[in-house]
Amino acid sequence: MNTQQILNDITAKQLKPASEIPDFSIGDTLNVHVRIIEGDKERIQIYQGVLIAEKGSGINKTITVRRIVANEGVERIFPLHSPRIAKIEVVRRSDARRSKLYYLRDRVGKSRRLRDQRRGLKHVMEDQAASATTAVAATAETEQSE
């Protein structure tokens, strides 16, 4: 067994499963749940911001999330597979035509906003089907209760 194979085996054990990492892309607004340890206490702090960059691959993959606090831009780089990251949620999907959104650092006010992502026809049809099924189920429940 060569050293590269040993390294690959060790890092494969430390990767988070794909089910824990949601499908997100550049420009999305994320809630990153970070474990904070203060003394002997542990709590989870939510860091919400826009994903402006992804870097690396495998165990070295990092994401850069930018938010505005008191009219000052704050960026934080999170190792994606770190045990300090409890959970990542996608709050809002946005349309980005670049792979790195560093130009947002220079933007102020409304020009900082990103366009909402338009969902494809397939998703619209699925949403309509899901709402129709819930409506039918709700009607059946009211008929049974009467």
d(CA 51, CA 91): 11
CA distances from 141 to 85, 129, 134, 144 (A): 41, 18, 10, 5
Q: Looking at per-residue confidence, does 57 or 1 come out higher?
A: 57
pTM for this model (two decimals)? 0.73
Q: Looking at per-residue confidence, does 135 or 53 come out higher?
A: 53
pLDDT given for residue 35 in this prediction: 96
Structure-block tokens of residue 76: 């934080």
Tell whether the model's pLDDT for residue 111 goes beyond 90: no
Confidence of residue 140 (pLDDT cuts 50, 70, 90): low
The answer to whether residues 100 and 53 touch, using CB atoms and an 8 Å cutoff, is yes
What's 116's DSSP letter? Answer: B
Q: What angle do CA 60, 95, 58 make, to 5 degrees?
A: 10
The answer to whether residues 53 and 26 touch, using CB atoms and an 8 Å cutoff, is yes
Structure-block tokens of residue 73: 């831009």
d(CA 125, CA 10): 44
